[in-house]
Amino acid sequence: MAAGAAGLGLSTTAGASSAAVPYEEYHDEYENVVDVVEAGADNTGTESITPVLEDLRADDTLFVFPEGRYYMDEQFRYTGFENIGFVGDGATLVPADYHAFDGPQFRLFRLGVTYNPGSRLRFEGFEVDQTAPDTGIRAIEAYVSDRLEVRDITVRGQHDSGTWGPGLFNITDPDGTGLVERFRAPDGGAWVENTPNAGQRWRGPIGIEANQNAGTLEFKHCWLGGFPNNGLYAAGSEGQIVVSGGLYRNSNGANIRVGGANSVIQWPTVEVDESRPEDRSQRGIRIEKGRDIEIYGALVDITSPMPTSHAISVMNTCEKARIKNTEVRIRGSSVNHGIVLSPDSGETTIADTSISHETAGGYPLWIRDSDRSDRILAEHLTISGRSGDASGFRDGIRCERDNCRFSHISVTQEGRDGTERNAIVNTGADLTVYKSELRASQYPYLDVGTDALVRDSDLESTGGEEAVCLYASSENPTFKKNRLAGGIRDLGASGVTTWENTIE
């Protein structure tokens, strides 16, 4: 038995009674199993359990917390372990408020550090009651090299202490794996200026943080409310991040912010339906600092848009991205954009995706001006909705980059309250539009770029304008086998080629 275990309620796995101790399916993984109440921990919420945990510290041990309330007023720190677990059976952790907690280490459990991580860690089955005023805590911070399993952690109450957010997880070894499943903090966090820690931090807490991950780390069916400094923030390292399902709502910065190599964001729901006075940008999904990042099956629903609160942002540091089978819905009285590709972002594919855009103005798809020529492909993309033209943002697709291809897309931009909107505006070179349907209250296709090709497509203005408008700066545009209702308005373009189009 590990040192310090004797006489403190620890038993060997062989001696543990399955009737007396829950989680028996885990017992074979540990040399020792301890019931912390039998070992002296108070489960009435009266006395801090941290001193008892310090006395019980032992490797290769599963610590079981029976039903009750466990008060903590200082962190429990354990690093360099091989295999430990903490499991709750109807257990509630009760952190002291900001004034009574032994800061500045505002954590309940610090398990592993960057320079001395643990190897295998299980943490499961706890509620965290931070409903008291001026209370908010990092429930768990974990650095693990081999295997991390965190499940069924629910944080009750808004994090209003102004300290670190409820969870931080990192896998330190490239071959290590981690799963954080059903980690829930639905009540979010207060801006730091509205807490007793005002002036000591920027913005306030992050919901879940994983910015030093080297391995494979999955967040499955998690739920985060509005935090002031991002919801799930898992960018900035080389490891793979997987987001599977879950609900992410109303965070400032971004609700899901992911980087890394071969990371995947699959089937999450992101909702922004509330903005606080301090909120400045509430992006749905932001991908960055990585390559081969995929967004699949996501729903991003924004009804309280703030300027620059794009539904999906592909940032400059994202080398390659794929967005597939995703639905974006944006409604509201402010200007906002749907999917935005930053100038230095790499090759990007958008497929089998729909964007419903009904705001005061904005671009449902904005491919920003760039010196890069990595291919941008949109196929089987549907863009719809009635929006305005505030701030001059009046195009369904704003294509400012070279080497873009739109295949089998449908864009309808009829405009709100008589607004004149365009379906596609191209300012780049070598654009191809193939087998697509374009409808707009002004022009379905407007070109000021170079060497564009539109073929086998159907273009019609619902406002009685021509199907195509070519400005004088447009060079060598080609139109083949299209239906062009109203024809082409040519304002001095050079090298125009038309072939077998139907003009109505």
CA-wise closest residue to 166 among 185, 142, 151 = 185
Query: Is the pLDDT score of 6 beyond 50?
Result: no
Instruction: Please count the CA atoms within 13 angstroms of the CA of 41 that sit on its side-chain side.
Output: 30
Q: Are residues 375 and 399 in contact, defined by beta-carbon separation less than 8 angstroms?
A: no
Q: Which two tokens stand for residue 348?
A: 């990007």
Domains in the chain: boundaries: 76-97+107-503
pLDDT on residue 439: 99
Q: Where are the alpha helices (H) located in 252-383, listed in sequence order?
A: none
Q: Where are the alpha helices (H) located in 388-488, listed in sequence order?
A: none
- Please give the C-alpha separations between residue 448 and each of 426, 428, 476, 490, in angstroms, as whole numbers: 6, 8, 10, 11
CA-wise closest residue to 395 among 348, 432, 355 = 355
Which residues are registered as beta bridge partners of 35?
A: 64
pLDDT on residue 21: 55
pLDDT digits (tens, 9 = 90+) for 410-428: 999 999 888 999 999 999 9
pLDDT digits (tens, 9 = 90+) for 261-276: 999 999 999 999 999 9
Total length of the chain: 504
246 phi/psi in degrees, rounded to 5 = 95, 170
pLDDT on residue 20: 53
pLDDT on residue 206: 98
Task: For residues 351 and 322, give the distance between their C-alpha atoms in angstroms, rounded to a whole number.
Answer: 8
pLDDT digits (tens, 9 = 90+) for 16-49: 444 555 799 999 999 999 999 999 999 999 999 9
Which residues, including other chains, have CB under 8 Å from residue 7's CB and lie 6 or more apart?
none
Query: Is the pLDDT score of 5 beyond 80?
Result: no
Query: Is the pLDDT score of 306 beyond 90?
Result: no
DSSP state of 197: T
Which residues are registered as beta bridge partners of 398?
A: 366, 425
